[in-house]
Structures are given as C-alpha cells and as structure tokens.
C-alpha cells in the first residue's frame, strides 16, 4: 500500500521519546544547564553531557522546536504540557538530549493568555484563546510531559491566538 506521508530519517531512541534528525553541540547556558541538571537523577556521578535536538517524536506525534527552520511557517512548536499536575501551553524553544542517561528535555517559554479579553469571538467559538505574549524566562521540563500540539494562529498581529484541535487518525502533524 502506498503512503503519502514522508518518513523521518535518522531516528534515535531515548528513554522517554525518539529524536528525529541530527544532534548538535549545545552552547551551554548556565541557568538552563542548572535546571536540566536538577531534573536528572541525583545519583548520576558523571557530569551531564547535553546535545541539542530540533525535533522529537512523543506519543507518535512529531514535535518541532522553534529553531527548526524548515517548519517555521507551520508554527508546530506550540504544545500543551502537564507540569506540576496542571496543564499549560508553551512554546518549545529546543530539546536537550543528555547522552549519559539517554533522557530528553524540552526548553520552553510559557504562553501568557489574555485573561482580560480571552476569546477571539464573543459569540460561539470559545476554543480560540487570545495570547497576550510569552514569558522571557526559559524553563526546562521532561519531554514526556508533552500532551499534544496546539494550533498557534499568528496571521494578524492584533489577534494572535491558540486553539486545541482534534487529531484525525494521526493525520494532523
């Protein structure tokens, strides 16, 4: 049977997901390094060795990061995550792969919703939420806390919004 989908090449398996594409040397940023090191197992005696990845496969879905240039126009870096038993919408900046423990982390920025005027349309569709902006600070979270992608609609700079959308039999990327 023929398939119209493109296959991902160069897929590597980690303990909590799969990575698609090449890994790059990560230019160390101290605050992100400290956050990621704290999330690692404290019994790890070796110094963490982090590499940067641009896309991962979590629960069968390809999650892109903001630094992945090929998908910049598709805005595939907005995701819904579960963090501290609450759900948040975030922008994934990039992924960090720790080679000793084979664990992947996501470096994210929180999406700030506009609670003064939360919905794009005032009548029926209450699934389009307005965005007021994003936080300046980066946060490191384990990549397996990513629940699903969300649609990031940025066509009009006055009305930037996000929306959850159904995944039709794995066809939405």
User: Mean pLDDT of successive 10-residue segments in the chain (173 residues)?
Assistant: 59 84 86 88 71 89 87 79 90 91 92 78 68 91 89 75 61 46
In a domain, 154, yes or no: yes
Taking the C-alpha atoms of residue 48 and residue 101, their distance in angstroms, rounded to an integer, is: 8
| pLDDT at 95 (0 to 100) | 94
In a domain, 70, yes or no: yes
Beta-carbon count within 10 A of 116 CB: 7
- CATH number of the domain to which 82 belongs: 2.30.30
| pLDDT at 81 (0 to 100) | 92
| pLDDT at 124 (0 to 100) | 60
- pTM (predicted TM-score): 0.82
Q: Residue 152: give the domain boundaries.
A: 11-163
- Structural domain tally of the chain? 1
In a domain, 168, yes or no: no
In a domain, 59, yes or no: yes
In a domain, 171, yes or no: no
């Amino acid at each position: 049977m023929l398939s119209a989908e493109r296959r991902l090449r160069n897929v590597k398996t980690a303990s909590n997901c799969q990575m698609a594409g090449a890994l790059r040397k990560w230019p160390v940023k101290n605050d992100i390094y400290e956050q990621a090191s704290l999330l690692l197992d404290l019994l790890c005696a070796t110094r963490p060795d982090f590499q940067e990845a641009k896309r991962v496969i979590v629960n069968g879905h390809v999650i892109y990061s903001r630094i992945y240039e090929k998908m910049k126009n598709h805005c595939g870096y907005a995701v819904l995550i579960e963090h501290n038993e609450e759900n948040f919408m975030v922008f994934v900046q990039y992924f960090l792969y720790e080679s000793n423990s084979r664990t992947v982390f996501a470096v994210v920025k929180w999406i700030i919703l506009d609670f003064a005027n939360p919905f794009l349309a005032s009548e029926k569709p209450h699934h389009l939420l307005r965005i007021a902006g994003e936080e300046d600070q980066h946060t490191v979270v384990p990549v397996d806390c990513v629940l699903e992608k969300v649609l990031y609609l940025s066509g009009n700079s006055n009305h930037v919004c996000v929306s959850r959308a159904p995944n039709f039999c794995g066809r939405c990327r």
